[in-house]
Structure 1
Amino acid sequence: MSVQYDLSCKIIPQEGRLRVRGTAIISVPETKFLFVLNRGLKWKNVSQRIADEILPVNLQRTDERKVPGFYNGELWGLEATVEKDGIKQEPIVIDFEYGGQIHPPKKGSKKPTMGYIKSDFVELACYSAWYPVPLTMTAYMKFHITLEGPPNWTWEANGENSSSEVFDKTSVWTWNQERQVNDITLIGMPLRDAHIDPESFFWGTKRMVSSQKMFDKHIHKIRGMLENWLGPRGTEAPLRFVITPRQLGGAYNRAGMVVVGGGYPTESNLHNAVLQAMSHEICHDWFCKASPLTYDNWVDEALAEFCSIYIIDDYVNDDFLSSRITKTNERLEKAGDLPAIRNLVREQDESYAAFYFRGFLLLNDVAESVGITKFRKTIGEFARICTQNESITSESFLDLIQKKLGKESRSRMEKWLDYSGEGVPEL
């Protein structure tokens, strides 16, 4: 299932405030939908539209499901009308209006502050639940956004910028996203602070981007190497790294827009590791359609890790692969007793070590068992499948492994997926 959003937003950075009026078009009728919204945002109007008629809906706070740990918000249940006068309503059309401030995670929470509206920078994504983030469907969405902001600000979003107009007291920006994506992300800052260079992969404040531009020439080459292996990226959007002042929470990729809190280290001894981290985020352009709400997400993270490590080994030719295998084994051992990959979802603390470390070692083990060249070719084929489909699963990946590499390779992989305990399984 998917949802299409049409959002009209007004952001007032000096006040830290947001107002949104919008429509959600939900493709499959159900009796109830669950959404997460930041606790600092208050609903004003919510209704259902059927033809020319506006119907009330039942909207209430609920605890019937636990909000995934990576979302900072409260859970709301919305009951819609799926049938009227004997006619089934499809799609469901919900109109809504809300506003307020983006509240940080509650005190004592281990969650990093991933979303904020400040006088000198704005970062909004699903993590701060600035829009109604759906939980009752696989979170793939299309969107249209109209944003009203200060006249002297510039903005980025994970969609195609179709227009921007500057007036005396405001500016109006619009974006469209016609491909299925898993988030709506908005980033903004004052023009006077902005580094805007069409020849650079980096976007952000001049102060933060100045040190990052040293990576431009490397990203250009690495992106080309990845496309030669994996095929065209799963988005037509230009690749850019958006550097934000956030210090915690790491990086995330949204349709070619890699949002990085604090930027990357520039010390020479960390150079190769930084290139691998950047490549990992780029690789999500191929594999990001595995749902973060199920264990299938291991496919996205493990393949991004595998492909980025192998491509940097190709690029630097400095024994990078063997050193990363050693380091990953050490980090996995340090993580201790872990549940099986099949029994984890991304919001669980153990998933990072299981998906990244054990997942990479799983893929590397199968690669070594069948031959690196043959395995990499299969991964390239899977990457092309991923970009042509709206979602991917662990099962679809295993099916291709069996088809291309045989039942033994699939069985080997499934033993890894079912293994719980310390380190790696004995095969």
Structure 2
Amino acid sequence: MISASNEYALECVINPQKGHLKVSGTIIIPATEESAFFILNRGLRWTKTVRRTASGYQSITAYKTDIVAVPKFYHGDLWTFDIQNSQQDEFVLEIEYSGQIHPPAKDSHMPAMGYIKRDFVELACYSAWYPVPFNMETNMSFELACEGPDDWTWEANGKLQNVEKNNGTAVWSWKQTKPVNDIVVLGLPKRDAHLDEESLFWGPRDLVGSHKVLDTSAREMKKLLEDWLGPRDTSDSVRFVITPRKMGGAYARTGLIVVGGGYSTDTILRKPVLQSMCHEICHDWFCKASVRTYDNWLDEALAEYCSIMITDDYLNEGFLESHVEKTMQLLEKQGNIPAIRSLTRDQEEAYAAYYFRGFLLLHEISEKIGRIEFRKMIGEFAQICAKNRDITTDMFLEFIEENSKTKIIDTAKNWLDFEGVGIPLSI
């Protein structure tokens, strides 16, 4: 794995009426001994692939390949450029492509997480609207200029630089200087948008308006998290973007939390809703484990554990104990679940393994060490996550065992290697 991050500079033109996307720009990637692989949506076609060198420009060909399987949560094909074995420190690719965002294949059973529609645009790595780096360092800094109708408003996971209007269109420009794992763009017509600078929520007015009742709780729980886990891994404010899609749940990107369909405001569901919101905020700390290895269980389990603990603190209604019992029941209903260590995020069983069994594993360690001591160590580890580029299971377990002076690694390995119904027997 390469330590330096990629740099993207993209200009995109989005036509919501036609569902069309056109992108041009530059990708700078660190030198590698391997060919570079990228994932691009099946509905997009390359129109320019040029390599820029110190001596000039060189046309290169993008080759579609099936040398390895593309994870199911990406809706795209795998492409490679023959750019290895160079004496240069980096490769500079100038690219252009255009087309429409195709949904996932029907037999993939995956939700459509990216689309360009007349009333809403949602683009992230899942739809592979930009060339998603596959076999190299996945983190990237970026500059993005997005041209669309001048009566639309937009959000992205970068700092807004400016908005320029010209002849019925507007160009919104963002910059992200820290390495992040995605480039996200969302937009909708201003006439339909909930635009309230005092609110944490953004999106269609008919979906977002009712979320005002959640604003205060979200802010207070965020403050509790910061008091426990320390500074977040971003200076950006937390924003919940509500999208009209019904499937696919939520994902968090550098303070930007994208939620399909929004949250229920029914008072009966207040506890799980607050915990779910808190879980996504937790990913501002826990987002450094690779999605291509089993280590990703750690990001999800830590976000689940911390959000449950904070919800328990906030409500003071025995939420932790009831959630442990409920999670155990949900896990057992899933039947035989493979070992966490054998799963990657795109596999169907990963959700139950990472969220349910992973949370219960952390709860087991907490009970073994003591809740107060374990919470203190989780707060310290959160800052390790915030300051490091990559986090692994071994890093976490070694940190906990060393600082707690308690033998927990064997217990954790027993859980991580357990395949079956529910949880393993204690050892």
| TM-score computed with the length of structure 1 as normaliser | 0.97
> Of the candidates 50, 53, 61, which is equivalent to residue 53 of structure 2?
50
Provide the residue aligned with 1:246 in structure 2: 245
SS at match of 2:389: coil
Deviation per CA, 1:149-203, whole angstroms, max 9, x where unpaired? 1111110000111111222311011111111111000000111111111111000
> Of the candidates 36, 41, 45, which is equivalent to residue 44 of structure 2?
41
List runs of 5+ in structure 1 lacking aligned partners. none
Q: Is the 8 A contact 2:43 2:99 kept in 1?
A: yes
1:249 Cα shift?
Answer: 0.3
Match runs of 1:12-411 below 5 Å: 12-83=15-86, 88-411=87-410
Question: Using the alignment, how far apart are the partners of 1:22 and 1:82 within structure 2?
Answer: 24
Provide the residue aligned with 1:10 in structure 2: 13
Question: Using the alignment, how far apart are the partners of 2:103 and 2:222 within structure 1?
Answer: 35
1:411 Cα shift?
Answer: 2.2
Question: Using the alignment, how far apart are the partners of 2:376 and 2:415 within structure 1?
Answer: 21
Question: Using the alignment, how far apart are the partners of 1:157 and 1:20 within structure 2?
Answer: 16
Deviation per CA, 1:230-257, whole angstroms, max 9, x where unpaired? 0011111110100010110000001010
1:130 Cα shift?
Answer: 0.2
Q: Name whichever of 279-288 and 50-59 sits farther off.
A: 50-59
Q: Is the 8 A contact 2:40 2:130 kept in 1?
A: yes
Question: Using the alignment, how far apart are the partners of 1:249 and 1:125 within structure 2?
Answer: 13
Deviation per CA, 1:240-279, whole angstroms, max 9, x where unpaired? 1000101100000010100001001111111000000000
Question: Using the alignment, how far apart are the partners of 1:278 and 1:296 within structure 2?
Answer: 23
1:52 Cα shift?
Answer: 4.4
Q: Is the 8 A contact 1:3 1:142 kept in 2?
A: yes
1:387 Cα shift?
Answer: 0.5
1:116 Cα shift?
Answer: 0.6
Match runs of 1:410-421 below 5 Å: 410-421=409-420
1:406 Cα shift?
Answer: 2.6
Deviation per CA, 1:41-78, whole angstroms, max 9, x where unpaired? 00001011102411122321111010101000111121
Deviation per CA, 1:315-355, whole angstroms, max 9, x where unpaired? 00111111100110001111111221111111111111111
Q: Is the 8 A contact 2:9 2:27 kept in 1?
A: yes
Deviation per CA, 1:72-104, whole angstroms, max 9, x where unpaired? 011112111542xxxx11111111100011011
1:144 Cα shift?
Answer: 0.5
1:55 maps to a residue whose letter is Q
Question: Using the alignment, how far apart are the partners of 1:417 and 1:152 within structure 2?
Answer: 51
Question: Using the alignment, how far apart are the partners of 1:394 and 1:27 within structure 2?
Answer: 26
Q: Is the 8 A contact 2:6 2:137 kept in 1?
A: no
Aligned identity (percent) is 52
Q: Is the 8 A contact 2:141 2:180 kept in 1?
A: yes
SS at match of 1:408: coil
Q: Name whichever of 388-397 and 356-365 sits farther off.
A: 388-397
Go from structure 1 to structure 2 and tell me whether the alpha carbon gap of 1:334 and 1:138 turns closer, same or farther (over 3 Å shift).
farther
Give RMSD over aligned pairs.
1.1
1:235 maps to a residue whose letter is T
Q: Is the 8 A contact 1:126 1:183 kept in 2?
A: yes
Q: Is the 8 A contact 1:81 1:89 kept in 2?
A: no
SS at match of 1:108: helix
Deviation per CA, 1:101-139, whole angstroms, max 9, x where unpaired? 101112333111111111111000000000001111241
Question: Using the alignment, how far apart are the partners of 1:138 and 1:230 within structure 2?
Answer: 27
Q: Is the 8 A contact 1:242 1:257 kept in 2?
A: yes
SS at match of 1:347: coil
Q: Name whichever of 15-24 and 46-55 sits farther off.
A: 46-55
Question: Using the alignment, how far apart are the partners of 1:52 and 1:147 within structure 2?
Answer: 31
Question: Using the alignment, how far apart are the partners of 1:277 and 1:76 within structure 2?
Answer: 36
SS at match of 1:189: strand
Q: Name whichever of 53-62 and 284-293 sits farther off.
A: 53-62
* Count of aligned residue pairs for this structure pair: 423
Question: Using the alignment, how far apart are the partners of 1:237 and 1:28 within structure 2?
Answer: 31
SS at match of 1:285: coil
Question: Using the alignment, how far apart are the partners of 1:407 and 1:97 within structure 2?
Answer: 55
List runs of 5+ in structure 2 lacking aligned partners. none
SS at match of 1:218: helix
2:22 maps to a residue whose letter is R
SS at match of 1:398: helix
